Structure 1
Amino acid sequence: MSPRRTPSGGRIDRLRTIRFTFDGTAYTGHEGDTLASALLANGVSLFGRSFKYHRPRGVLTSGVDEPNALVTVLRGEVREPNIPATMVEIHDGLTAVSQNRFPSLAYDVSAINQLGGKFISAGFYYKTFMGPVIGPLKGTRFWMLCEKIIRRAAGLGRAGHAADPSRYERMNAFCDVLVVGSGPAGLAAAHEAAQSGAQVILTELDPCFGGSANWSGETIDGEPAATWASDVVGELKTHDNVRLLKRTTVWGYYDGNTLAAVERVSDHKDTPAKGAPRHRHWTIRAKNVVLATGALERPLVFPGNDRPGVMMASAAMRYANQYGVLAGEKIAVLANNDSAYRAAAALAKAGARIVAIADLRSDVSAACRTLASEAGAELLTGHAVIGTEGGKNLSGVKLAPFSATLGVSKGNARDIGADCLIVSGGWSPTIHLASQAGARPVWSDDLQAFLPPETGKGWIGAGAFNGTFSTAEVISEGFSAGRKAAGQPALETATLPDVEPAPLDPNPAPVFEIRAKGKAFVDLQHDVTADDVRLAHLEGFVSVEHLKRYTTLGMATDQGKGSNVPGLAIMAEALGKPIPEVGTTRFRPPYAPVSVGALAAERFGDLKPDRLTPMHDWHLENSATMYSAGLWFRPMIYGGPGETIEQAYVREAAATRETAGIVDVSTLGKIAVQGPDAAEFLDRVYSNVFSTLPVGKARYGLMLREDGLVFDDGTTWRLGEHDFLMTTTTANAGKVMQHLEYFLDVVWPDLKVHLTSVTDQWAGAAIGGPKARDILASCVTGTRVDNEALPFMGIVHGEISGAPVMICRLSFSGEMAFEVYSGAGHGTHVWEALIEAGKPFGMVPYGLEALGTMRIEKGHVTGAEIDGRTSARDLHLGWMLSKKKPFIGSAMMDREGLAASGRLELVGLIALDNRPLSGGAHIVEEVDAANPHGSLGHITAACFSPALGKYIALALVSGGKARHGKRAHISDPLRNRFGPVEIVSHHFFDPEGKRMHG
């Protein structure tokens, strides 16, 4: 038998032996053990090293609030660090290692940090590493010299680099009632809600339902509490309207009663079922939530309170009653409330020797004295532990008389031999989820703890969550909460179950710190001492949120589970204020760590939604190379055998200018702007006038931001008196829609205008080139497309191959061009009809590379030039700024900075060495490859121009127009590209627009 395993008892399967390793040593345990309970059973007391001082640490708790025993679990080459050993279920082949130590857990060279004392107290890194270095490295910040060493030393566990082969799932669930926690209150609530017919989800973070009923040692209505809990769970399983989720941690509470949870599906299995996920992430939307999350026992702050062998009283009781493991053979007790006495009695019953009970209170109840007597313990009221002894294991404690008003009386101190000290500083209701939901905690003087408000929007509390610690009352509260959450009336008379033994007084003495010589830890996970809290006060960090960040108290995975109230009490004493005035920090999600795999579950690779145009399949079938443009997939080129990208786009662009080309423009943003005030609205939105636009015509428009910089451009078509179709750039479609909705909803709510995004309702094809009109005329019916019927920027309606279409004559390529819109469902049909009509004329489909080439040749701007820093005048679009009306940005567009000389202006570049140019390359007057400097601007877009037979680019250059005809150089050190260029007008090709209007 293991050294600390009791001969009988517990809820483990003693007939099933499980083999596992910890730090390379083989151990055995039983099914139902956690890694913590199994190691304790094997006599292991040293589990880890502390964060900052590398002090030896053992197990403090038995659950999710464990701050010390954090381990790394190895699954093949995959490492998962910082897992509480108290939450790891052992299984055959489990491999775990300790953390934050070198070369071994027993002998850690970084333990020398303990000699640092006050030099590495709270905030030491802020104060130590920010100053300048003197001597040979003068001028260097000390932090720059130390950063790598500090970052390597920081943290606890070490993340791995191996790919995780596990599968993760995500689920969405909806219910009438979500019950969080399956202790007596949660089981009662789920039972009543299920009986009413409500759809119920019951979650429990532990491997078995029942919570404290599994280890409290109580009886409920004459049967063991664990049996009562098992019976309730059995009945719940018979209900079709109940879903039971064990090993499930509800970690976040969000708006709209949406809660996030993670179910550990197969961590506890040595051979997971084929196809089973490791973790399953749940997004649960509930009409009502019952928070039955219980309470966590608090530590007390005293010198040496972090030594291995110091443990929470409830944890020691649970190890004995649920796992059949004794935390020690000779156990001392330190308490400021009654609950520790029941733990002492349970440990004595399990076979431990209780050597002494030190109670900070000067007197205790008769019930406590009886329990102390039953445990065979010496009862020392008005006494405190002022120190612990031993190395990597506790060997004894030092006791001294104590008074809440006078403190410790050291003159009568005495030593008591003990290999375990169990501690209870009272209980803190687990109100984390309620805090996340927006509930403001309320201080209870009786419990010396923060409680939630009586109720909250969408949730109801029950049991110890509310500060109720009598099991009979806890169950009664659960029944009431379940009925209320299910919309049922409360019972007129509540019958309390018969619970033995009788409840003890849960109210603790208002004492959290025992001040004596030595380090006394408040937050054991982050090595925050009581002196650190007082130092924060002295240095001006008096807000609880500043205290948290300066000292790291309650941060990271702890989230104030054990350290919050003691830390606040010490700060309150330093401030001379009561705790409720000091306040508490806001608990944040996640309540407990969540694996990244669970958060990303089934979301990997390219997570953008794949938006496909109606003609997408045609493009793939016709040799298109697709790539992502914003949220859309669009053809890049239609490559021929052996063609490079450049050869393909040059061929496509040249053919379009020679005969005709067709391009898919379905992705352009399209917004229907309708209503009596639609024209007025567009006048306010665009920098140019739209109210004068005739029906059946389109106009190019420019939008500015409120700060006077260019936001977007596009054409808007007037389809009726109060009906406009606005087009935007592909990338900015969503942003423009948000922009318009904001101004309608917030700035001009009086305007009668309705906006509808219709991007996906229209398929679009643009035909351009000298033969474009002939091709269109050969296949369109119901309308003429000659110059008289369809002038530049005109709109007509007709049919192509029986499908209704809307055609606007406008151009982006500089050629005579027409945009043909049809309903998305007709998109491929119309496209194929246009392709067929174009074959006799030599029309080619072209992709974005050719489209970009032709727009660069014409000097048209896109998102590369409209980058959030350019004004209309920078882009030579000042002619579009109306002087007859105000519009968004008009008040700011003339401010001094936007009219200053030397601003970056749009220009064209021609490579004089006939070599490719690249976007992002800088323009300089003189090349200095060894020390690139003196940037005049940068290239925004570049290509090989088939029309000019040269490599050209658009660029933003300081004083651009004044530099036309002058030479400069490209400075692109990343690509090792340097060379001469000529700065010219951005209109490279057909600057008069004869081809477009011809």
Structure 2
Amino acid sequence: MSDKVNNRNTRGAHRLPGGGRLIDRRHVLTLSFNGRPLTGYRGDTLASALIGSGQMLMGRSFKYHRPRGPLASGAEEPNALVGLGVGPRFEPNQRVTTTALRDGMQLFSQNHWPTLEFDVGAINARLYRFLPAGFYYKTFIHPRFAWKHVFEPVIRRSAGLGRPPVSPDPDHYEQAYDFVDTVVVGGGVAGLDAAAKVARQGGRVLVLEQNDWWGGRAPVDQGEAGAQVVEALLAELQGMANVTLRRNTMATGLYDHGYLLAAERIADHDPDSGLPRQRLWRIRAGHVITATGALERPLAFVGNDVPGVMLASAVRDYLVNWGVAPGARIAVVTNNDDAYRTALAALDAGLEVPVVVDARPNASGALPEMLRARGVTVLTGSAVAGVRGGKGVTGITICAQDGDGKTITQTLECDALAMSGGWSPVVHLWSHCGGKLNWDETAAMFVPDPARPPLGADGRGMASAVGAAAGDLALAGLIAQPDEQPTMPVWVMPARAPVKSRFKMWLDFQNDVKVSDVELAAREGYASVEHTKRYTTLGMATDQGKTSNINGLAILSQSLNQPIPATGTTTFRPPYTPLTFGTIAADARGDVFQPLRKTPMDAWHTEHGVKWEPVGHWRRPYAYPARGEAVHDAVAREIGAVRGGVGTLDASTLGKILVKGPDAGRFLDMIYTGLVSGIPVGKCRYGLMCSENGFLMDDGVVVRLSEDSWLCHTTTGGAERIHAHMEDWLQCEWWDWKVYTANLTEQFAQIAIAGPKAREVLERLGGMDVSAETLPHMGWAEGMLAGVPARIYRISFSGELSFEIAVPARQGLALWNKIHEVGADLGVTPYGTEAMHVMRAEKGFIMIGDETDGTVIPQDLGLNWAISKKKADYIGKRAQERSFMASPERWRLVGLESMDARMIPDGAYAVADGHNANGQRNTQGRVTSTYHSPTLGRPIAMGLVRRGPERIGEVLEFPQPNGESVRARIVDPVFYDKEGTRANG
């Protein structure tokens, strides 16, 4: 045995001379903790290396800055978090129990000042009576001055555990996709056995294990027998071609339809390897088997947070897996048989076990008898009354479990205490997607209800639980092990502990939530476990309540005098363990944080001197200025080409959503204000979409492709939003309607050819009859155009004769080039979005986002004609019937004509007589779009004006920031070709 460190903060923690099945003692690795040089071995975690080096004090708790050491050995660890690394690779709040040791790592403790040993913030522990549960909420009721100048600054300065990194992350991450028949989450014996059974029946099976090793607890708890079972199952699975095994992969969330997210650690151990540091898997599975095991619960007694008090299973892990001990003299306190395995493992490692304190009145099973046979004292019906020591365990006091703790039956010295309050199945994935739980009164645990599993799209169960995750702690006989006596529920130790003691019993170790805090919440009316959670912060630490929630809700149930099932659990939400932003974002950062979407003609535009305009995630040509040409001159030239000849517009960015199915017409009649189901096959119709509050949210042309198929065009950048809007209503409201939607935006290139010579260009391309008789306005046709399969829509946004041609995206550039080739002698000219906007404004056409701002309804824009009077309902109809929406005083669309040929600034407000309550001038309208019209040779504008259409001819005043005003007359919003003859050519 190595020399023990005698410092009172590290008393008894040391590396054992033998053991440690996961470490390789031939390879010594170095690390430092707060600048102190330490060593460990390959295979160590940071926690095992620190414990082996005698460092049990690893941090401070959040609220009271109490000394904290490791409680657990896995992802459930709430205490032992450190800042890891320096410079660009510094990461706060790294859990030492799950972080593998690599050579040269630098660790820094958190949440203290000036040092870990001496922390001024520890004064909070003495002020606990002034910092009860919800104290920060209670500061809100004080005068605003006290909150703003006293409480808020202090609370904000105190928030958080670690310091944030200040440098960009230099590492690389990636994302990947997988599709399998069955995913088994958990590589313990139950998971491997379930995977083997499914794989023998065929189908692809994927097994995910969060650790770097297989077998779960079996090799630790069942020794050689457990290891042999694991090896046999692994050998079988590795020999199956239809099985994939992934270690270091944590399943973090289960979502609808068998969608599973998992984070794989690839190069965490060696970020300089050039490999991605982590990979986020997006997995679609036909069925998910949760073999996620169970987590040991702590016990609530005075001083259960002192460094050196640990979960019994964690002590066992450190002894067997890594050959380190948290102390040389380890006491055990329990309410179940499993903790006796820890006592036996400690004896096998050559350590002392002075006593096992068992809360049960009787402990006569095989495991207790094995321990008694080795000379260890077992005290039944007993409890730990308190732990002695501040920064490390020096001893414990013992009392009767059914008493009030005032009578101490025994005091003994020890330097570590292993506690076990029973086990809780890991039901997080099961619950993420709606799986229900039952309370097992005998085992004192919530277990998955197999009769109410998470449901897939077909209405059948998409998940099942096996092994400890299903409440089967005995592994269904897979490994022979001694029979165990039932667990006795113990939520407070001793059972009748006085109020003063409950102020010193900890539930959430990181957030310093005590038994007394939960009881206070119950007294103050927080009967819902969700409210108690937020009031006390129980379960809101970085471990998300893995070791505290069940104990907390049991205490709440006792305080409310109701059974635990009546209290229920808090909501389990993904992720199961925290994901780094790097893993979530992968390469979506820097220049590609917002992916740049390009049309098939993007390169052509660049070659021809385009000036780009960002629209959503797309970039669109704004204009094509020639060398030395000003942009506004280029826009005027492009408009002149369209009005007098022919122009081409890249319209590929328009959203294109296919809606198909027996109920598609019925569905679109609800989505649009018009009667979409009445559009004949072969025709198009302009349509409006409103939110449920009645406000206009998008517009576009709807095309009737066949009896059960429609193609819905949306605004540029609106396809994803509108597609999500459609799916939201389909999945949440009309889930039984037979409708299929697909976003086809990027599948097609779309080219607008507009102008008096547009038909001539199409005729030169050849292959389709585009005559006015065959293809009238608002009609469409399908065929081969210039040898390319195409769909031609006779629609116009410019007011000119216009055709929009949709072809497969890969053919877009070829057709674009062909159009410019055959139309060269006709002066075919590409035009951009600014020319398009000016021409649509000349025609009085609205633009979503210009004439709309989330408060505008179709009736405000004079679009009553696009609202069907033949159907009973559509989304937003009832909202538009409210008195405010139907008021004649609403601001409505008009044209605006400057009185002195000056441009009316975009967004300018027209003033009215009087002032509002803030002393500002009343307003009666605003400018929504303003342009110089080269067609008309003067400025034009559109705006929303109170009772606008009834006030044509009136003059409005638009004050400017420089003190001047622009005066404009209200006119008809259609400035050009009001009869529409040019589009019908």
* Inter-partner Cα distance in structure 1 for 2:742 and 2:98: 51
Paired residues of 2:397 and 2:408 also in contact (CA < 8 A): no
In the TM superposition, what is the alpha-carbon distance from 1:78 to its structure 2 partner? Answer: 2.8
State the SS of the aligned residue for 1:151: helix
State the SS of the aligned residue for 1:954: strand
Letter in 1 for 2:404: V
* Inter-partner Cα distance in structure 2 for 1:200 and 1:244: 9
In the TM superposition, what is the alpha-carbon distance from 1:548 to its structure 2 partner? Answer: 1.9
**Could you say which residue in structure 2 is the equivalent of 1:52?**
63
The two structures, once aligned, show a CA RMSD in angstroms of 4.2
Letter in 2 for 1:383: S
* Inter-partner Cα distance in structure 2 for 1:154 and 1:21: 27
In the TM superposition, what is the alpha-carbon distance from 1:267 to its structure 2 partner? Answer: 1.7
Q: Is 1:408 aligned to residue 404 of structure 2?
A: yes
In the TM superposition, what is the alpha-carbon distance from 1:256 to its structure 2 partner? Answer: 3.0
In the TM superposition, what is the alpha-carbon distance from 1:101 to its structure 2 partner? Answer: 1.5
Match of 2:627 among 631, 641, 653: 641
In the TM superposition, what is the alpha-carbon distance from 1:445 to its structure 2 partner? Answer: 2.2
Q: Is 1:248 aligned to residue 249 of structure 2?
A: yes
**Could you say which residue in structure 1 is the equivalent of 2:488?**
508
**Could you say which residue in structure 2 is the equivalent of 1:263?**
264
Letter in 1 for 2:930: A
Q: Judge which range, 27-36 or 760-769, deviates more.
A: 760-769
CA pair 799-985 structure 1, distance change in 2 beyond 3 A: farther
* Inter-partner Cα distance in structure 2 for 1:307 and 1:849: 69
Letter in 2 for 1:254: Y
- Percentage of matched positions with identical amino acids: 42
* Inter-partner Cα distance in structure 2 for 1:677 and 1:82: 52
Q: Judge which range, 836-845 or 276-285, deviates more.
A: 836-845
1:164-184 deviations in whole A, cap 9, x for unaligned?
121112232344443322333
* Inter-partner Cα distance in structure 1 for 2:739 and 2:296: 60
**Could you say which residue in structure 1 is the equivalent of 2:16?**
6
Match of 1:968 among 935, 957, 960: 957
**Could you say which residue in structure 2 is the equivalent of 1:74?**
85
* Inter-partner Cα distance in structure 2 for 1:196 and 1:522: 45
**Could you say which residue in structure 2 is the equivalent of 1:305?**
304
1:846-894 deviations in whole A, cap 9, x for unaligned?
0111111222233210202244422333213345556677664666645
Letter in 2 for 1:900: S
**Could you say which residue in structure 1 is the equivalent of 2:117?**
106
Match of 2:160 among 155, 163, 176: 155
State the SS of the aligned residue for 2:544: coil
**Could you say which residue in structure 1 is the equivalent of 2:537?**
552
* Inter-partner Cα distance in structure 2 for 1:333 and 1:108: 30
1:784-795 to 2 correspondences below 5 Å: 785=771
**Could you say which residue in structure 2 is the equivalent of 1:583?**
568
Letter in 2 for 1:462: V
* Inter-partner Cα distance in structure 2 for 1:821 and 1:838: 19
CA pair 759-157 structure 1, distance change in 2 beyond 3 A: closer
Q: Is 1:64 aligned to residue 70 of structure 2?
A: no
1:445-460 to 2 correspondences below 5 Å: 445-454=441-450, 456=453, 457-460=461-464
Match of 1:903 among 890, 895, 898: 890
**Could you say which residue in structure 1 is the equivalent of 2:517?**
532
* Inter-partner Cα distance in structure 2 for 1:317 and 1:902: 77
1:410-433 deviations in whole A, cap 9, x for unaligned?
134543222222211122222222
* Inter-partner Cα distance in structure 1 for 2:679 and 2:420: 80
* Inter-partner Cα distance in structure 1 for 2:229 and 2:788: 71
**Could you say which residue in structure 2 is the equivalent of 1:20?**
31
Q: Is 1:329 aligned to residue 328 of structure 2?
A: yes
* Inter-partner Cα distance in structure 2 for 1:77 and 1:320: 35
Match of 1:945 among 933, 942, 962: 933
In the TM superposition, what is the alpha-carbon distance from 1:208 to its structure 2 partner? Answer: 1.6
Match of 2:417 among 418, 421, 424: 421
CA pair 424-784 structure 1, distance change in 2 beyond 3 A: closer
In the TM superposition, what is the alpha-carbon distance from 1:532 to its structure 2 partner? Answer: 0.9
CA pair 474-870 structure 1, distance change in 2 beyond 3 A: same
CA pair 207-732 structure 1, distance change in 2 beyond 3 A: closer
CA pair 65-625 structure 1, distance change in 2 beyond 3 A: same
In the TM superposition, what is the alpha-carbon distance from 1:938 to its structure 2 partner? Answer: 4.0
Letter in 1 for 2:561: G
1:466-615 to 2 correspondences below 5 Å: 466-470=470-474, 473-474=475-476, 476=478, 498-499=480-481, 502-505=482-485, 507-514=487-494, 515-516=497-498, 517=501, 518-604=503-589, 605-606=591-592, 613-615=599-601
In the TM superposition, what is the alpha-carbon distance from 1:318 to its structure 2 partner? Answer: 1.9
State the SS of the aligned residue for 2:884: helix
Paired residues of 1:686 and 1:887 also in contact (CA < 8 A): no
Paired residues of 1:909 and 1:981 also in contact (CA < 8 A): no
State the TM-score, normalized to the length of structure 2. Answer: 0.86
**Could you say which residue in structure 2 is the equivalent of 1:33?**
44
* Inter-partner Cα distance in structure 1 for 2:733 and 2:214: 55
* Inter-partner Cα distance in structure 2 for 1:758 and 1:330: 69
State the TM-score, normalized to the length of structure 1. Answer: 0.85
Letter in 2 for 1:860: F
Letter in 1 for 2:487: N
Paired residues of 2:337 and 2:365 also in contact (CA < 8 A): no
Unaligned runs of 5+ in 2: 5-13, 454-460
State the SS of the aligned residue for 2:860: coil
Paired residues of 1:312 and 1:424 also in contact (CA < 8 A): yes
Paired residues of 1:2 and 1:43 also in contact (CA < 8 A): no
Match of 2:430 among 434, 455, 459: 434
* Inter-partner Cα distance in structure 2 for 1:419 and 1:99: 24
1:499-546 deviations in whole A, cap 9, x for unaligned?
5xx344352354544324241111112211111111111111112222
State the SS of the aligned residue for 1:408: coil
Match of 1:90 among 101, 116, 135: 101
Paired residues of 1:545 and 1:585 also in contact (CA < 8 A): yes
CA pair 190-712 structure 1, distance change in 2 beyond 3 A: closer
Paired residues of 1:679 and 1:722 also in contact (CA < 8 A): yes
CA pair 700-276 structure 1, distance change in 2 beyond 3 A: closer
1:109-153 deviations in whole A, cap 9, x for unaligned?
2222223323322111112224323xxx5xxx7257643442331
* Inter-partner Cα distance in structure 2 for 1:690 and 1:466: 51
* Inter-partner Cα distance in structure 1 for 2:422 and 2:311: 10
Paired residues of 1:680 and 1:691 also in contact (CA < 8 A): yes
**Could you say which residue in structure 1 is the equivalent of 2:458?**
none
State the SS of the aligned residue for 1:110: helix
CA pair 683-201 structure 1, distance change in 2 beyond 3 A: closer
Paired residues of 2:687 and 2:702 also in contact (CA < 8 A): yes
CA pair 764-293 structure 1, distance change in 2 beyond 3 A: closer
In the TM superposition, what is the alpha-carbon distance from 1:29 to its structure 2 partner? Answer: 0.9
In the TM superposition, what is the alpha-carbon distance from 1:46 to its structure 2 partner? Answer: 0.9
CA pair 918-154 structure 1, distance change in 2 beyond 3 A: farther
Letter in 2 for 1:941: S
Letter in 2 for 1:56: P
CA pair 238-638 structure 1, distance change in 2 beyond 3 A: same
Q: Is 1:663 aligned to residue 649 of structure 2?
A: yes
CA pair 642-281 structure 1, distance change in 2 beyond 3 A: same
State the SS of the aligned residue for 2:551: helix
State the SS of the aligned residue for 1:306: coil
CA pair 379-753 structure 1, distance change in 2 beyond 3 A: closer
Q: Is 1:218 aligned to residue 223 of structure 2?
A: yes
Letter in 2 for 1:902: E
* Inter-partner Cα distance in structure 1 for 2:54 and 2:491: 33
Letter in 1 for 2:945: V
1:898-924 deviations in whole A, cap 9, x for unaligned?
232432222345678988766555554
**Could you say which residue in structure 2 is the equivalent of 1:990?**
976
Letter in 2 for 1:400: C
State the SS of the aligned residue for 1:465: helix
In the TM superposition, what is the alpha-carbon distance from 1:47 to its structure 2 partner? Answer: 0.8
1:105-254 to 2 correspondences below 5 Å: 105-133=116-144, 137=145, 142=147, 146-194=151-199, 199-216=204-221, 218-220=223-225, 225-226=226-227, 229-230=230-231, 232-234=233-235, 236-254=237-255
Q: Judge which range, 674-683 or 427-436, deviates more.
A: 674-683
CA pair 90-965 structure 1, distance change in 2 beyond 3 A: same
State the SS of the aligned residue for 1:869: coil
